[in-house]
Amino acid sequence: MNRLTQGVILLLFGGAILRASFTDLYLRYVKEGLRPFLIATGVLLVAAAVMTIWYSWRFPAEHDDDGHGHSEHGPGVGWLLILPVLGLLLVAPPALGSYAANQAGSVAAAPVGDSDYPPLPEGSTVELSLIDYASRALFDEGKSLTGRDLKLTGFITTAPDGAPMLARMVLSCCAADGRPIKLGLTGRAPIDVPADTWVQVTGVYTGQRGKDPVNNVDVAFLEVKSWQEVPQPKQPYA
């Protein structure tokens, strides 16, 4: 591959990173706080690409000759490396969903320590993250949840027995290390809803528990009172 080809690929790759960074697309790959690093990386790649292309045009003889009278032109197949880069520019892959959730074991919800869980905010219905609900349900025996209507948002996945579960992917850094947090659903659970459908469920705490068959982690349950389909959130990961 000659330097011109390298420069074009660098330019497209840097452009793809910048395009994702200046839209919400990057949230499908990394956590929100990494946006400045993506922008810096994209700028550096574009700058390197511009310098490489300029050098190949400014000094074509020096670029094409290896000093022994041999031309440095690489095989045309090198340009095929542009295809995956164009894929990043033209096709936006979806965020991790039910397939990834079913392949990986549920995140083990962690207790807050020796102190009690703080009381939930006032209001008729309290919105919680899945991991906050699971942590309070499993390690606080639902003390801070009892008697409250709770609203949670996630996508539908299925248990091995076909029962619907509510899930959301949790990232440490990027989508490559994403793992799911899963909740079992009882009551008026969304039955026969396609996997990957995003729903907002309103329900109450139940002491029922289960096990994730993938890694044998405890799974909390929620008794559903009502639910509705919602668009995928801007930030799909927890």
What are the structural domain ranges in the chain? 3-90, 98-229
| Better-predicted residue by pLDDT, 100 or 1 | 100
Q: How confident is the model at residue 145 (pLDDT cuts 50, 70, 90)?
A: very high
At 69 the pLDDT is: 47
- pLDDT tens figures, 151-165: 999 999 998 888 999
Cβ 238 vs Cβ 168: under 8 Å: yes
pTM here is 0.75
Alpha-carbon distance of 207 to 141, in angstroms, equals: 7
Q: Which residue, among 219, 238, 92, has the nearest Cα to 161 in the 3D structure?
A: 219
Task: Give yes or no for residue 213 having a pLDDT over 60.
Answer: yes
Task: Give yes or no for residue 76 having a pLDDT over 70.
Answer: no
Which class does domain 98-229 fall in? mainly beta
219, β-bridge pairs: 210
| Better-predicted residue by pLDDT, 123 or 154 | 154
Determine the average pLDDT of the residues in 139-157.
92
* DSSP assignment letter at 157: E
- Measured at the CA of 55, the angle between CA 54 and CA 56, to 5 degrees, comes to 95
Determine the average pLDDT of the residues in 36-48.
91
